[in-house]
Amino acid sequence: GENVEQHPSTLSVQEGDSAVIKCTYSDSASNYFPWYKQELGKGPQLIIDIRSNVGEKKDQRIAVTLNKTAKHFSLHITETQPEDSAVYFCAASKGGSYIPTFGRGTSLIVHP
């Protein structure tokens, strides 16, 4: 089955810095890669996703890149703000059921 590794487990940055979270996956058939943000006491919220026919996608301060050959994808957050502090999860899935395999999460702390 699919295996998703996520690094780092904790990331601490100063407000205004950029943050990068990286994930690798094992199943070359995976073709959908979402990122979720989970704030304390809440459920994961889909913030951005990328499909395997695209190399990069941006939405304001967040972007995701995908390298299919190397089987890794990354989340980039620019100009971080304290409200970006949360746990971020990556996932990988493939067509049919699109049942995701999640990474273990990255706790992002943005210091004011």
Partner 1 sequence: DARVTQTPRHKVTEMGQEVTMRCQPILGHNTVFWYRQTMMQGLELLAYFRNRAPLDDSGMPKDRFSAEMPDATLATLKIQPSEPRDSAVYFCASGLSTLPEQYFGPGTRLTVT
CA dihedral 45, 99, 72, 21 (to 10 degrees): 20
Stretch that binds partner 1, among 16-24, 32-40, 52-60, 67-75 (CB under 8 A): 32-40
**Per CB under 8 A, does 98 bind partner 1?**
yes
Q: For residue 35, how many other CB atoms are within 10 A of its CB?
A: 23
Binding string to partner 1 for residues 37 to 66, with x set by CB under 8 A, is what? Answer: ----xxxxxx--x-----------------
For residues 64-93, which are near partner 1 according to CB under 8 A? 89, 93
Alpha-carbon separation of residue 38 from 79, 83, 92 (angstroms): 19, 12, 17
Q: Please give the residue ranges that form the binding site for partner 1 (CB under 8 A).
A: 32, 34, 36, 41-46, 49, 89, 93, 95, 97-100, 102-105
